[in-house]
Every structure is written in C-alpha cells, then in structure tokens.
C-alpha cells in the first residue's frame, strides 16, 4: 500500500470517527429536557379545571367514580433545571379527591368516595415534545379510594403507570385523557362495594388539572 493510500484511509477513519462523535453529541442534546419553575423551592400545585370532572372508570364493570370541584387537587415538586432525559420531570407528593361537603363527587349507586395518595414515587415522565406540549405518562400511581355504603365500608386501590398524559405550557394544564395502565386491587371483600368494583379490573383515569402557577417544560 502506498503512502498516499494509507493517508487517505487514515483521513477517512478520522472523518468517520468525527461523524459518529457528532451524531452521539446531537442525540444527547435532543434527549435533554429543561424545566423552568417560578417557585424557587421547585413546588407546584393545581386544581381540577372548572366545569370538568375527574373520573375513575372500571373498564371491566363499566362503573365510574366522578368528582368535580376545586377540592380535587394535586401538589408536588418540579425543580428548575436540565434533565438528561424526560424521566422524572416532576413528582406528585399530595393528591385529593374533592371535598365531601362542597364538591360534586359520587360513585356507583350514589356513593361518595374520598381518596389518598399511597405512592411516594408518583412522577411525570416526558416522552415527546412539540409546540409547547409535553406528552408522557404518570408513573408509580397508587391511589386508595373509600366510601361508606349501606352495606358497609367499601375500599379499593388503583395502581400502575398511567398513559396518555400531556402538559401544555401555555395554559399550565396537566391532562390525562382516558389514560390506561392501571389495575384495581384491595377491593373490600365484605360486600360493601356491591360487586360493582372488581379485583384485578382494568382502570382508566381522566382529569385536567390547572397549575396555580404554570411551569414551563421544553425539549429541543
């Protein structure tokens, strides 16, 4: 092999290496996400959008739990900063399902349910970004619901990873539209749930929350 041929091969190898390096850096850049929160402590809070319902839908039995009113809220943390990926952009630390005294909340046969957040790892992961809208999912969901019925105390838990979640920067709205990926468990076996909520049933969740002070999430 001549000196010229060896030089050409070396130059080609260097060009390929530089090209691969550039591609890797570009991919890393594209994966970055930026969160800008107006609160220095990274906190956020929001309530159910006026005129809408939050809804738990037992897909298997067709039964629904619905709640409307400002008492349906969530709180959490989304510190400002740059994330290497869309995982863990925000964490939900508190969740409430209406105010039994003032909000319109009901379940099967007119029962009134309350709820509490059992998970300490419920978070929002961004999967794609376009035109100011983040599409992703809520992970680590674990919510306990309970109600007093004429047959006793009815309880159940829904848990899983909730799909079809979006966050819109311009309005500060976090929306879940018929999000799937949840399963019902720990259903009372004392008959208080009247057979309308079933162990192992698939569950969908729908709600639109409006943040009190919107945060901004972007990705290249």
Q: Where are the beta strands (DSSP E) in 89-201?
A: 90-96, 104-106, 114-117, 123-130, 133-149, 152-168, 173-185
Residue spans per domain, the chain = 1-31, 33-218
Averaged pLDDT for residues 53-65: 96
Q: What is the pLDDT of residues 93-149, one digit of tens each?
A: 999 998 867 788 888 877 888 899 999 889 999 999 999 999 999 999 999 999 988
Residue 65 scores a pLDDT above 90: yes
* Cα 124 from Cα 10, distance rounded (Å): 47
The per-residue pLDDT for range 15-44, each reduced to its tens digit, is 334 343 343 333 333 479 999 999 999 999
Residue range 73-88, pLDDT digits in tens: 999 999 999 999 999 9
């Amino acid at each position: 092999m001549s000196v010229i041929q060896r030089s050409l091969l070396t130059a080609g190898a260097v060009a390929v290496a530089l090209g691969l390096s550039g591609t890797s850096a570009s991919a890393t850049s594209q994966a970055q996400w930026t969160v800008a929160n107006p609160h220095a402590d990274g906190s956020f809070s929001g309530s159910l959008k006026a005129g809408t319902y939050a809804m738990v839908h037992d897909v298997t039995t067709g039964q629904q739990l619905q709640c409307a009113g400002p008492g349906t809220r969530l709180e959490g943390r989304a510190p400002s900063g740059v994330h290497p990926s869309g995982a863990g952009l925000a964490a939900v630390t508190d969740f409430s399902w209406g105010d039994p005294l003032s909000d319109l909340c009901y379940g099967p046969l007119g029962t009134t349910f309350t709820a509490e957040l059992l998970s300490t790892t419920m978070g929002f992961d961004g999967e794609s970004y376009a035109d100011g809208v983040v599409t992703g999912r809520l992970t680590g969901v674990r919510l306990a619901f309970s109600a007093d019925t004429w047959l006793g105390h009815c309880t159940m838990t829904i848990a899983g990873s909730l799909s079809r979640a979006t966050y819109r920067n311009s309005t500060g709205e976090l929306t879940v539209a018929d999000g799937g990926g949840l399963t019902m468990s720990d259903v009372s076996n004392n008959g208080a749930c009247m057979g309308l909520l079933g162990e192992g049933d698939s569950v969908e969740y729908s709600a639109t929350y409006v943040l009190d002070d919107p945060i901004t999430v972007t990705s290249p």
